[in-house]
Structure 1
């Protein structure tokens, strides 16, 4: 969500209105009341879904926009030191700045180097990765989550205030990893490298199942997500009736 969109969101805190949103932050999420829903992927990469996490071309990847300032900049800048092509870690970005345009010429050499690297990689080929980075952008949610999952890559969230979609129905700790920007350089690689092969395969299997539950065979069909939302509402209403 853009900064403009963030400022215009409806104020439902303290009201009786339940909010279902793709940009749900922990700071205003009301557990047991609001619902975090996923953004449908812009690309679907099912041709990679059956590739074992042990046989992938890359270990950890992302190809995305680097925001020079504002929301999303901290999360994405924290990933740049991970770059290690020899060991299958590719972090490639291009600079973008909507509100502080003067920062682009001030960082021209840095941004040009990033752009040269960015243009050298194909997004689809980078999805042939054991793990797929899912950094927060202008909002905590991202289209990349669905794209990573559709490719059979294991999601690795990077952010501070993300409420994962359908967290009442999807067991995210069993199919993904999550790190704050502060933890990226100190903990991320050691954690991911320590995952046993059998666990990688189990996480991939469960992640693909979760993708199917959320999006089904056609990402333009909202019915799979609608079924999950209805299931959440039924559970909540049933629980309250028995209290």
Structure 2
């Protein structure tokens, strides 16, 4: 884990201030990329950019938050499970979860309720919440997972309303894992409180970038980050930063 504990990496000492000031969960945005900033190759493949050490560490960080959040694109492309695994990594101590008997929530931001009922995220490995538009047909998910309905926005869903819905479920911090469009929406609306970036010593040259549609169009709009920590994770580098606001 380098010099920082899990609590320090996910900024636990900053949660309460964000919770109280904004009435929403603290948002930790994590992504893994190559040195040239690619999170997937041109053909869409992305497994695995970073090392086994980094992937195992991500489970620690998931367990350190109350929910892991992805977008519908990530769900459809990768069909991830998103549950915290511990039996294959001796470093993973689930006692860091506030209630060791309960996995962190798995949350999919899915405007049109496109997540199928047999998706991996809908299994019984952890509780799941699908956030859908209030006018979408989510009947196939009834009785399978929890569903939260929020209004649509100009782009996707009303993220403020979604976060308030999570906070009402006592979710104090979320681990945002993508994809780039959802992350871009969070960045554009000033909803990211911490960034954890794993950088692999590799190059792809083309392919998907880590962020899309973040509302930044010129150098005058650039979002500067303050580095909190830089450490090794196996052969990779892990950077932890917070937005300068």
| TM-score, normalising length: structure 1 | 0.27
Q: Larger radius of gyration, structure 1 or 2?
A: 1
| TM-score, normalising length: structure 2 | 0.27
Per residue, is there more strand in 1 or in 2?
Answer: 2
- RCO comparison, higher one (Cα < 8 Å, 6+): 2
